[in-house]
């Protein structure tokens, strides 16, 4: 298998995959942490450990119960409320009352974020709540059942789709908001290595022999998705994971490759091919979306390689990272960091392409100055300003409180984002009340396509 197929099989196979069969999302049930009473992060971690202990100890010698947590669960309902404030501010500014408030959440976990967002809208913006259509796209059958049970009776506006986002076929012609919170870190990557004599990229395959042992082999790139990603990376001037001097000086490269015991291949590089698939799906099926995305920008304990993942399991109630990707399918979490600067470049380039087969039909909107059908120009997400759009001014804020800039997408740390939208006094004590307190510094937030 290609490495991305191997990872998807390990994580999502319905018969033995990590998420369908092993993973349990940490849930504090109906209780929340009393953040103002906690003096520091050490006390907070102690409280988290107590909640983990409530799940019980592992009773066998193999990999134990695979419990993991998200900011949504740890900081509920305040984290979800912060996301709701961001989305509703943009909706009220641009679309209310002419369009419905359409939300798509990819990978909703326990359904906690959806519950927190909709509870906030219902209590604070009832006129918006009445026009809200909340869609969840979920690949796990067990989580689909949990989400429907949890949300259906409380918020009838929720619809749960049991489907992979990569197999999504329905076109959404209306303006909508897409959320992907702590999801893309589990998107499968491919692995490539470069021949250090020719600098030809090679795609990696995972193989298995008759004894059940795994190994890697390499072949010239033929996969269309890998080929597309490498072409896009070249166009965006994103360099490969080869030292710049070796790429710039062929003589130095030849000398290096002729050294005794010198490797004939570059270090492994993991490329986000499934992330490219997501961007294409958004472009073709959600042409008027606004994307709110959050995930890890860096992670410790990664396996060797460039942009490499963490591969870990829980063993005897302890999280144990390993040093190889070739592990028993279904018992190990595999998650990647995201280079948000490169993601922004990819996103803006993909969204600037012609509409292609979007097929919007003849939908009309009262937001237009005439009754003509909506058309999506090729410069919709262009990095260049159209002639009829004012130049942004340094220091000017948008209605949502974040800076206006020339780019159509913006990257923020959790500290920056939550200092704008979160009710910080609810999650930090008085003596620790600082602008960057109570946030997750290893994560970043993307607000993509929000400032058109």
Tell me what pLDDT residue 305 has.
95
Do both 57 and 196 map to the same domain? no
Tell me what pLDDT residue 384 has.
37
pLDDT band at 241 (very low <50, low <70, confident <90, very high): confident
Neighbour count for residue 207 (Cβ, 10 Å): 13
Q: Do 359 and 338 meet the contact criterion of CB atoms below 8 Å apart? A: no
The answer to whether residue 169 sits within a structural domain is yes
Kindly report whether the peptide bond that precedes residue 407 is cis, defined as omega within 30 degrees of 0: no
pLDDT band at 142 (very low <50, low <70, confident <90, very high): confident
CA separation for the pair 38, 30 (Å, rounded) = 19
- Which among 22, 72, 69, 67 is positioned nearest to 319, based on CA atoms? 67
User: Which tops the pLDDT comparison, 269 or 16?
Assistant: 269
CATH of the domain at 144: 3.40.50.150
Is the model's pLDDT at 335 over the cut of 90?
Answer: yes
Adjacent-strand bridge partners of 103? 134, 177
Neighbour count for residue 97 (Cβ, 10 Å): 10
pLDDT band at 177 (very low <50, low <70, confident <90, very high): very high
**Domain span holding position 155:** 23-187+275-351
Do both 167 and 280 map to the same domain? yes
Is the model's pLDDT at 153 over the cut of 80?
Answer: yes
Tell me what pLDDT residue 137 has.
97
Do both 221 and 345 map to the same domain? no
Do both 254 and 319 map to the same domain? no
Tell me what pLDDT residue 402 has.
45
First to last CA, the chain: 41
Do both 169 and 140 map to the same domain? yes
Backbone dihedral angles phi then psi of residue 149, each to the nearest 5 degrees: -65, -40
CA separation for the pair 345, 238 (Å, rounded) = 9
The answer to whether residue 401 sits within a structural domain is no
Q: What is the pLDDT of residues 157-173, one digit of tens each?
A: 999 999 999 999 999 99
Among residues 203, 237, 271, the one where a domain terminates is: 271
Is the model's pLDDT at 248 over the cut of 50?
Answer: yes
Q: How many domains is the chain partitioned into structurally?
A: 2
CA separation for the pair 378, 299 (Å, rounded) = 36
Backbone dihedral angles phi then psi of residue 97, each to the nearest 5 degrees: -100, 15
Mean pLDDT of 253-265: 71
Do both 305 and 229 map to the same domain? no
The answer to whether residue 108 sits within a structural domain is yes
The answer to whether residue 409 sits within a structural domain is no
Among residues 322, 351, 380, the one where a domain terminates is: 351
Cβ contacts of 321 within 8 Å, gap of 6 or more: 301, 310, 311, 312
Do both 96 and 182 map to the same domain? yes
Tell me what pLDDT residue 25 has.
66
Buried b (16+ CB within 10 A) or exposed e, 416-441: bbbbbbbebeebbbeebeeeeebbbe
Q: What is the pLDDT of residues 48-107, one digit of tens each?
A: 666 665 655 555 655 555 566 677 877 788 889 999 999 999 999 889 999 999 999 999
Do both 261 and 180 map to the same domain? no
Least confident range from 282-286, 317-321, 439-443: namely 439-443
Cβ contacts of 155 within 8 Å, gap of 6 or more: 114, 115, 118, 122, 134
The answer to whether residue 285 sits within a structural domain is yes
Do both 197 and 117 map to the same domain? no
Least confident range from 2-16, 99-113, 173-187, 365-379: namely 365-379
Among residues 351, 373, 398, the one where a domain terminates is: 351
Map tokens 């710039």 to a residue.
248
Mean pLDDT of 110-133: 95
Neighbour count for residue 96 (Cβ, 10 Å): 16
> Is 350 exposed, middle or buried, given 0-12, 13-18 or 19+ CB atoms closer than 10 A?
middle
Q: Residue 225, SS3? A: helix
In order, the DSSP letters of 164-183 are: -GGG------S-EEEEEES-
Q: Do 204 and 2 meet the contact criterion of CB atoms below 8 Å apart? A: yes
Is the model's pLDDT at 12 over the cut of 80?
Answer: yes
pLDDT band at 394 (very low <50, low <70, confident <90, very high): very low
Do both 86 and 152 map to the same domain? yes
Tell me what pLDDT residue 414 has.
82
Map tokens 């499934």 to a residue.
274
The answer to whether residue 330 sits within a structural domain is yes
pLDDT band at 410 (very low <50, low <70, confident <90, very high): confident
Q: What is the pLDDT of residues 191-207, one digit of tens each?
A: 999 988 888 999 999 99
Mean pLDDT, the chain, integer: 79
The answer to whether residue 11 sits within a structural domain is no
CA separation for the pair 280, 302 (Å, rounded) = 28
Is the model's pLDDT at 436 over the cut of 70?
Answer: no
Is the model's pLDDT at 290 over the cut of 80?
Answer: yes
The answer to whether residue 347 sits within a structural domain is yes
Do both 169 and 134 map to the same domain? yes
| pTM for the full predicted model | 0.80
């Amino acid at each position: 298998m290609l490495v991305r197929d191997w990872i998807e099989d390990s994580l999502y196979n319905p018969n033995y995959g990590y998420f369908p069969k092993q993973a349990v999302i940490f849930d504090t049930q109906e209780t929340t942490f009393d953040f103002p009473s906690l003096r520091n992060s050490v006390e907070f971690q102690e409280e988290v450990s107590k909640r983990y202990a409530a799940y019980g100890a592992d009773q066998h010698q193999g990999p134990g119960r695979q419990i993991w947590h998200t900011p949504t669960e740890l900081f509920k309902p305040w984290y979800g409320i912060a996301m709701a404030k961001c989305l509703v501010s943009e909706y009220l500014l641009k679309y209310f009352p002419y369009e419905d408030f359409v939300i798509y959440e990819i990978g909703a976990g326990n359904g906690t974020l959806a519950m927190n967002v909709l509870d906030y809208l219902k209590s604070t913006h009832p006129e918006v709540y009445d026009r809200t259509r909340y869609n969840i796209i979920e690949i796990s059958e067990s989580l689909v059942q949990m989400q429907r049970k949890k949300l259906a009776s409380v918020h009838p506006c929720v619809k749960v789709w049991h489907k992979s986002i990569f197999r999504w076929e329905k076109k959404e012609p209306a303006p909508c908001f897409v959320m992907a919170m702590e999801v893309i870190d589990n998107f499968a990557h491919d692995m490539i290595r470069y021949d250090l004599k020719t600098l030809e990229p090679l795609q990696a395959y995972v193989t298995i022999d008759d004894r059940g042992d795994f190994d890697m082999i390499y072949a010239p790139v033929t996969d269309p998705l890998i080929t597309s990603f490498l072409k896009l990376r070249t166009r965006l001037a994103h360099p490969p994971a080869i030292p710049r001097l070796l790429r710039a000086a062929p003589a130095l490269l030849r000398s290096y490759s002729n050294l005794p015991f010198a490797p004939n291949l570059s270090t492994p590089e993991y490329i986000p091919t499934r992330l490219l698939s997501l961007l294409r799906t958004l472009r073709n099926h959600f042409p008027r979306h606004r994307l709110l995305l959050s995930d890890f920008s860096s992670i410790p304990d990664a396996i060797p390689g460039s942009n490499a993942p963490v591969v870990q399991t829980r063993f005897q109630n302890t999280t144990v990272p390993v040093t190889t990707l070739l592990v028993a399918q279904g018992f190990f979490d595999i998650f990647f960091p995201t280079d948000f600067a490169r993601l922004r470049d990819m996103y803006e380039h993909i969204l600037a392409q012609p509409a292609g087969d979007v097929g919007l039909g003849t939908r009309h909107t009262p937001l237009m100055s005439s009754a003509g059908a909506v058309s999506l120009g090729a410069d919709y997400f262009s990095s260049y300003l159209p002639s009829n759009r004012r130049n942004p001014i340094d220091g000017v804020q948008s209605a949502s409180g974040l800076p206006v800039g020339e780019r159509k997408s913006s990257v923020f740390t959790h500290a920056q984002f939550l200092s704008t939208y979160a009710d910080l006094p609810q999650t930090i004590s008085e003596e620790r009340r600082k602008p960057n307190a109570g946030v997750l510094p290893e994560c970043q937030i993307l607000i993509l396509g929000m400032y058109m």
